[in-house]
Amino acid sequence: MIRFVHCVKRNKNMDSGEFRRYWNSAEFQSLLDRMVLLSGARRIERNLTLMVEANTMLQKERDSGDPFDGIIELWMDSARDLNAALESAEFFELMDELEQYQSEFIDFHESRRFFTEYNPET
């Protein structure tokens, strides 16, 4: 199984509440639902970082920077499924639409995205 992981930082000029409104909006959910359909993904997960003292303690323990504001994971059965999605013009149109929407609340330069391999047998 392959997972696409997007660790998201909010735009610097945006407070956490405004970021969460975009993140939890019906429009963003609709775009993500369409991505699942067009990509053939098994599932999608969208998580917000908890705003709790324990996260502040974790940062201080290792003198690390601020955590990401949210994480999106898209689960796909295989690289073949991923490649099939990447060959679709409709998928690329959706990716452009999604990027335009995300540019309103996501700092792309500070965010990270990558693919991982997941083996449920290990």
Domains of the chain, earliest start first: 2-117 (3.30.70.100)
Report the 10 Å Cβ neighbour count for 72.
Answer: 20
Q: Are 9 and 48 in contact, with CB atoms under 8 Å apart?
A: no
Global confidence as pTM: 0.86
Render each residue's pLDDT in the chain as its tens digit; 122 residues.
Answer: 899 999 999 999 999 999 999 999 999 999 999 999 988 899 999 999 887 787 777 777 888 888 899 999 999 988 787 777 778 889 889 999 999 999 999 999 999 999 999 887 76
Q: How far apart are CA 68 and CA 27, in angstroms?
A: 22
3-class DSSP state of 33: helix
The amino acid that residue 80 corresponds to is R
Q: Could you please report the per-residue DSSP string of 55-83?
A: HHHHHHHHT--PPPSEEEEEEES-HHHHH
